Every structure is written in C-alpha cells, then in structure tokens.
Structure 1
Amino acid sequence: MVATLPGQAWHPDVTVATVVALEGRLLLVEERIDGQLVLNQPAGHLEPGESLVEAAVRETLEETGWQVRLEAFVGSYQWTAPGGQQYLRFAFAGQALAHDPSRPLDEGIERAVWLAPAELRARTAQHRSPLVWRVAADWLGGQRHPLSLVQAL
C-alpha cells in the first residue's frame, strides 16, 4: 500500500477502456511506452467536465479512428503500477459503428489492431498492464452490466 504524507491528498489516475469486438476479434492499440511497443484496449484518462461514458467513446475514436456506441459496463478495476502509481479503470463494451482510416491517432499510438482472443492471450508479455487481459477475460466470460450503473450527475 502506498502511504501519503499528512495533509497530502491521494489522487489515483482515473482511466476508461473499451472492449470492441467485430467478427470474433478484439480492437486493441499498439502504443509506445518508454520505447517499448505494448498492447492495450483503447483507453485513456478521464478529462475534466466529461462523463466516464463520454471519455470511453472519445478515447476509442482518438486512439483507433473507430466511432463506437457503448452497450454495457464491464467493470471497475483498481491497480497499482510497479512504480506505485494507482489507477482506477472503468471498462465498457462497445459496438463498432464506423471507421475513419484517415483520422490521425493519438501521440504514441502506432496503430489499431484486431486480434483474436487467443492472440491477445498469447501476447501477454506485451500487455501495457495486467488490466488488459483481465478486462478482456471478464468480457469474454460474459460480464456485462447495464450502463445505468455508471451515473454522471
């Protein structure tokens, strides 16, 4: 557990991720982190003034060029990175609607890729974090919750 100093606020990074499946394959991104090519779901940070749902749709478009419609909430995940940074990830399931191949992708994103679940599992060493497979495995196992569980007031 990471301790904070007296009077110091704890601020975990709040992130969103989207599982998108098409013809038996999952939409992922290959991105460069510290010079390493890693795999992740389309994911990113919640920005001020947006809902978790809006963030998931935005991040998917920015990182892959795919417009999606969210259909379910997969789950929430808490993870502490090896350096001590803590993350709260909210994962969603979405349907692919349209792709814009000419859209520039976010900085650091090399490309969007479609992988069969077995291919994703075989490349575990390339996952950006253990959250990548955990979210995919939960989705593959049928974990779906109504979007109404995620409220923005």
Structure 2
Amino acid sequence: MTARWKPNVTVAAVIERQGRYLLVEEQCPDGLRLNNPAGHLDPGESPAAGCARETLEETAHHFVPTALVGIYMARTLQPLEGQSEDVTYLRFAFTGTLGEFDASRTLDDGIVRTLWMTIEEIRASVERHRSPLLLQCVEDHAEGRRHPLELLHVDPSVAGAP
C-alpha cells in the first residue's frame, strides 16, 4: 500500500508597520534566508493560535491575528543530506496586531534576527526567500486582502479527543 500524501501545514504572520514588513532571517541548510514569521501548525491548535505562537517564538513579539490574508500552496525541493526532498506546503497567512516585545525570550533555533523591510526590498531579495510564498503573502496584504477569521472553522475535536 502506498503511503498517503499530506501537505505540510504552516502558518505565517504578515505584519506591516509604516510601510515596512516584519521578517525573520534564518539559517537554513541552503544558507541564510528571509521569511515571514512562520512555522508548522502543532497538533491541537487552531491556525490562528499557531500563527500567534510562531510569531512569538521567532520574533519575541506577541501577535494577535485579526484577519486571514489568504491560503496558499507551494511545492519546493528542500536540501536534505546531499539530496533534495519534494515538499508541498499549505500556508495560512494572517495579519493582525503586533503586541509587546518580550526581551527575555530567546528566538527559535536558526533565527538570526528580525528585520523590517519595504515591499521593494522584499521584491529585490527574492533569491534569499526561504518560501516562494513570502512575496505573494506580502503583495496580497499590500493589496488589502483580508478575510474574516470566522472563515476558518476549527471543530472542538482539534483541541481534544474526537
């Protein structure tokens, strides 16, 4: 029997302040890369809660998602021990309110720093993007795409036993 294919579900924060977007610079197997604060959805959490958690872990900023920017899918080859791994990502991108910075927090392993970049700087650095979805999420945010959080229904069984 063939194994069932499943995409990797990720969440990302698209955070803009005064014309600049909050990004993380992270060490990856193929070098130093840029990305939205993002990561994998954990068992038992909603996409919005996962996005808040990932943003805190990667930027040390509290974040409250207020709208869904979009749902994205991309396929990429990831370096893996001298080979490439074919990976498909399903990304839920949120925008919201950036809260307090927690100076006592250590950033996730691999995160070198956070930085604020203009959309022009992001467009000019495509070769450094970790995800092919980074620019699309930022472009959609800049165009004003916002969907209500209620678009995503999370059944109570997610947080507990079905």
TM-score by length of 2: 0.87
Note if 1:118 corresponds to 2:113: no
Q: Secondary structure at the residue paired with 2:86? A: coil
| Partners of 1:126 and 1:97 in 2: CA distance | 27
Give the equivalent residue in structure 2 for 1:145: 147
Structure 1 counterpart of 2:28: 33
Q: 1:30-56: per-residue Cα shift (whole Å, max 9, x none)?
A: 001115110000000000111101000
Q: Is the 1:22–1:96 contact (alpha carbons within 8 Å) kept by the matching residues of 2?
A: no
| 1:102 Cα offset (Å) | 3.2
1:135 aligns with 2:137: yes
- Picking from 94, 97, 102, the partner of 1:95 is 97
Q: What TM-score do you get using the length of structure 1 for normalisation?
A: 0.92
Residue 134 of structure 1 aligns to a residue whose secondary structure is helix
Cα distance, 1:101–1:35 mapped onto 2, change above 3 Å: farther
Which amino acid in 1 is paired with 2:151?
A: L
Q: Percent identity?
A: 46
- Could you say what secondary structure the match of 2:14 adopts? strand
| Cα distance change of structure 1 residues 40 and 71 upon mapping to structure 2, 3 Å threshold | same
Distance in 2 (CA, whole Å) between partners of 1:125 and 1:35 is 11
SS of 1:77's equivalent? strand
Q: CA deviation at 1:122?
A: 1.1
For the residues of structure 1 that align with 2:30 and 2:132, how far apart are their CA atoms? 19
Following TM superposition, the consecutive aligned residue runs of length 4 or more in structure 1 with deviations greater than 3 angstroms are none
Please state if 1:12 is matched with 2:17: no
Unaligned runs of 5+ in 1: 1-5
The residue that corresponds to 1:3 in the other structure is none
State the SS of the aligned residue for 1:81.
strand
RMSD over aligned Cα, in angstroms?
A: 1.1
Q: Could you tell me which runs of 5 or more consecutive residues in structure 2 were left unpaired when the two chains were aligned.
A: 78-84, 156-162
Aligned partner letter, 1:57: A
Residue 116 of structure 1 aligns with an amino acid whose one-letter code is: T
How many corresponding residue pairs?
Answer: 148
